[in-house]
Amino acid sequence: MIMGRGLVNRLLALIAACAALAVASAAQAEDGYRLWLRYAPLEGEALARVRALPLVVHADQDPTVALAGEELVHGLAKLRGEERRPGVVITASRLARPLPPGSLSFECRDSAVPPGGAFAIKPADGGLRISAGEPIGCLYGAFALLRELSLGRNPAKIDLDERPAMPLRLLDHWDDPNGYVLRGYSGRSIFDWWKLPEHLDQRLVDYARADASIGINGAVVNSVNASPLFLTDRYIPKLRRIADAWRPYGIRLYICARFSAPKDVGGLPTADPLDPAVQAWWKARADALYAAIPDFGGFLVKANSEGEPGPQDYHRTHAEGANTLARAVGSRGVVIWRAFVYSAEDQTDRAKQAYNEFVPLDGQFEPNVILQVKNGPVDFQPREPFHPLFGAMPHTRLMFEGQITKEYLGQATHLAYLAPYWKEVLDAQTGRGGTVAQVIAPAGMAGVANTGSDRNWSGSHFNQANWYAFGRLAWDPTLSSAQIAREWAMQTFSRERGFIGKVVPMMIASREAVAEYMTPLGLTHQMATGHHYGPGPWICNLKRPEWNPCYYSRADKGGIGFDRTASGSNALAQYAPSVAAQWADPRTIDEDYLLWFHHVPWDFRTPSGRPLWGELVYRYDRGVATVDEMAATWASLAPYVDPERFADTADFLRIQSREARWWRDASIAYWQSINGLPLPAGTRPPEHSLDYYKALSFPEAPGE
């Protein structure tokens, strides 16, 4: 049978339409790989405004300038809903010839803009111009403009003048050469050292692009429990291949250096930092690295902490150890020395040890040494007061260290947006030199990275928000948690008001929920041993006292909490008097820090009118209830989110809801076994006995 031409054409049109629908449907399926750089097509008036904006790009051979231009071309095409590239007008450097009216242009060597990544986006000739003093500023400006347009901003009203608040904005990767990631919950390491230098995975380039989009300008590529391999000649070509790929994105490469490397791989009988042969070895290693990587960032060192080697092995100080490496590096880079130190031999409060070791050394470090200080004095807990070292060493540069990967906040599956957590610390008044953010401004911020080989990079889609938030706060710590959450959610999921109006409050509430169902009222480190997964408040028999949760709770028949006032460890005295006064009285202290600083009776009357025991149970229940509300909120947002990412998040919220109850029930069962008190009236009892919870074992848990 022969079909008529009209029928054939109609069938072909139908096939084409079906194919187009299939493509459109496939385009809706998302796996999270594109992060916040999706550049989802705009709609309505916002789309019309962007389509009316011509693009002008420099004829510039600088690779960073080329990336900025390519990002604008790519981003505008996506925002316009076009697969083709928008029309591009190529101009000579410094915009030597007239531009079409309403153009978008950029000038990357504008002497009026300071160096260091600063940029300006200003109206010009009816259009917009991105100006920067150096190429990396132009790349940051390109990303900033695309972010503003992605949020639906009117190009005619965009007027930005930005510069980073601090010079170093780093990610620390706790990755081993064999691909294992310490405290990583998103797959294996993104660094495949076995295949380098011959093969560089595209993922490393995409990672650098994502970092640059939020202003991150450096990465430490290996674990703080460092392998000496990274200081050998065999690894220098591997490191160079990565550094070369990252350079156009403004990402400098750093490595963790093992303090004992002169012995481990250098053939020396000692690693004593004052031994001339050791000093010469470090100088030779630094010279070899800088010969291969001229912009090598420097070394990060963990020393005399958790059994790692360090200068104290040779009766030398941290300053003497750091200065040996700093002199080897010289003006070419920095030595970042971690202040996370504690020793089983030190019988004082673990929270006091870093302050006691480092404050007497203030002013003794070389100018290119930076002390990297954790946000709190113990270890990335769901809530800690800010570290007392901030503000206490005015003659030493201090750098903030936060943990983006959620070792103690539910790991991969619990939704915990960490911007409010970091803001608590950054905004805290130290009583010595302003806020924490002001104290660290001359140095910077480092975050323990949560990136891995999982397709969505971070183990869960909402964990991406913490990577994003860290970069944004390192660039500008005055940004609010809600503003950052809104930016991320609009770029990552949906611009619809119905979505943003619900998801942003959910994110803001999430970290507080975790703190309440895990460690309410200032309790800390109640996690199980080793993997830090799940509750273990009953653990009291570990070799080192400060590894035991009961060390921190000090729970007994008479009460609960760690007395850090003058009647206890007196850790409170390490803070400025104006700060210590806020926390000295259990009757007036912010309840979020009550049990951190005070051991109080179970019947202690809290501001709510409830006795401490009743308030503790109330907080556990409120944390669980908040997670249930988060799950219900997410369920209502299905119309706004692609099915794959919606289902992944819904699954993880179910896990979080179940595990929040586990945390609540196991903790309450243990405290009851200590205090012998009945549950407050109307309270649901734990689902299982205390023995049941104690018997649970997770040998396959991530991070074990």
Q: How many CB atoms lie within 10 A of CB 670?
A: 23
Q: How many residues does the chain have?
A: 704
Specify whether 379 is catalytic: yes
Q: Tokens 């303090």, residue?
A: 259
- Of 306, 420, 303, nearest to 371 by C-alpha is 303
**How far is the C-alpha of 563 from the C-alpha of 621, rounded, in Å?**
26
**How far is the C-alpha of 188 from the C-alpha of 455, rounded, in Å?**
11
225: which residues sit within 8 A by CB, 6+ positions away? 174, 182, 302, 306, 308
Q: Kindly name the residue from 107, 407, 546, 621 that is annotated as catalytic.
A: 407
Residue 51, CB-side half-sphere exposure with 13 Å CA sphere = 12
Q: What is the CA 213 to chain-centroid distance, rounded?
A: 14
Q: Kindly name the residue from 172, 379, 424, 665 that is annotated as catalytic.
A: 379
Specify whether 407 is catalytic: yes
Whether the Cβ atoms of residue 230 and residue 256 lie closer than 8 Å to each other: yes
CA angle 121, 127, 132 (to 5 degrees): 25
Task: Give the phi and the psi of residue 11 in degrees, each rounded to 5.
Answer: -65, -45
Specify whether 45 is catalytic: no
**How far is the C-alpha of 470 from the C-alpha of 186, rounded, in Å?**
17
Task: Give the phi and the psi of residue 99 in degrees, each rounded to 5.
Answer: -105, 155
Q: Which residue spans within 554-599 are E strands per DSSP? A: 559-560
**How far is the C-alpha of 276 from the C-alpha of 282, rounded, in Å?**
10
Whether the Cβ atoms of residue 361 and residue 328 lie closer than 8 Å to each other: no
- Of 470, 411, 458, 455, nearest to 213 by C-alpha is 470
Whether the Cβ atoms of residue 511 and residue 382 lie closer than 8 Å to each other: yes
As a whole number of Å, the CA-based R_g of the chain is 27
Q: Kindly name the residue from 162, 306, 366, 476 that is annotated as catalytic.
A: 306
194: which residues sit within 8 A by CB, 6+ positions away? none
**Pure H helices in 293-385:** 318-329, 353-358
Cα dihedral sign for 590, 596, 598, 599? Answer: positive
**How far is the C-alpha of 39 from the C-alpha of 149, rounded, in Å?**
9
Whether the Cβ atoms of residue 507 and residue 385 lie closer than 8 Å to each other: no
Whether the Cβ atoms of residue 117 and residue 138 lie closer than 8 Å to each other: no
**How far is the C-alpha of 674 from the C-alpha of 256, rounded, in Å?**
44
DSSP state of 604: P
Amino acid at the residue 457: W
**How far is the C-alpha of 262 from the C-alpha of 268, rounded, in Å?**
6
Whether the Cβ atoms of residue 327 and residue 366 lie closer than 8 Å to each other: yes
Task: Give the phi and the psi of residue 552 in degrees, each rounded to 5.
Answer: -90, -30
Tell how many helices (H) and how many strands (E) occur in the chain: 21, 16
- The pairing of strands 55-58 and 168-172 is unpaired
Amino acid at the residue 591: E
Peptide bond into 197 cis (omega under 30): yes
Q: Which residues are catalytic?
A: 306, 379, 407
